[in-house]
């Protein structure tokens, strides 16, 4: 019986399967997938509001949309450290204007052993279940 060209061929005909268009994993190429990325340990010094600040990158992440994030710590010559999250791959790639904007919106560093409240900033008097 000759092969009918309208019938689909069985998978075992020896032909290679086409490569998928999408990545096999949605996390492919993201931090935590494959070999761990090298963490940048460099520092930069910026001038902001007539003070010198030392900036260092302490963490990286990637949001669902694929944008890379850097966690920065700003250390003044005197005073407490501040932290901020910015979009970028490395500290060296960020222009000084981006660092100044990040410092403008930075917050005091939270101690490592202190956990953030589940719904931070939602404590209010009254509401459901509160007599």
Q: Which pLDDT tens digits describe the chain residue by residue (131 residues)?
A: 566 666 665 555 556 666 656 555 555 555 555 555 555 667 899 988 888 999 999 888 888 888 888 999 999 988 899 999 999 888 988 999 999 999 999 999 877 666 666 666 665 555 555 54
Give the separation between CA 22 and CA 20, rounded to whole angstroms.
6
Of 69, 38, 37, 75, nearest in space to 56 by CA:
75
- Could you tell me the end-to-end alpha-carbon distance of the chain, in angstroms, rounded to an integer? 83
* Verdict on whether the full-model pTM lies above 0.85: no
Q: Which of 72, 60, 57, 68 is nearest to 105 (CA)?
A: 72
Residue whose structure tokens are 């509001």: 49
């Amino acid at each position: 019986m000759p092969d009918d060209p309208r019938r689909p061929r069985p998978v075992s005909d020896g032909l290679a399967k086409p490569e998928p268009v999408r990545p096999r994993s949605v996390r492919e190429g993201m931090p935590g997938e494959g070999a761990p990325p090298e963490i940048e340990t460099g520092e930069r010094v910026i001038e902001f509001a007539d003070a010198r600040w030392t900036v260092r990158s302490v963490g990286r992440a990637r949001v669902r949309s694929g944008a890379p994030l850097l966690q920065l710590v700003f250390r003044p010559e005197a005073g407490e450290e501040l932290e901020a999250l910015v979009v970028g791959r490395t500290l060296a790639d960020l222009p000084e204007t981006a660092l100044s904007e990040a410092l403008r919106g930075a917050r005091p560093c939270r101690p490592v052993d202190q956990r953030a409240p589940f719904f931070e900033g939602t404590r209010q008097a009254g509401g459901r279940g509160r007599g």
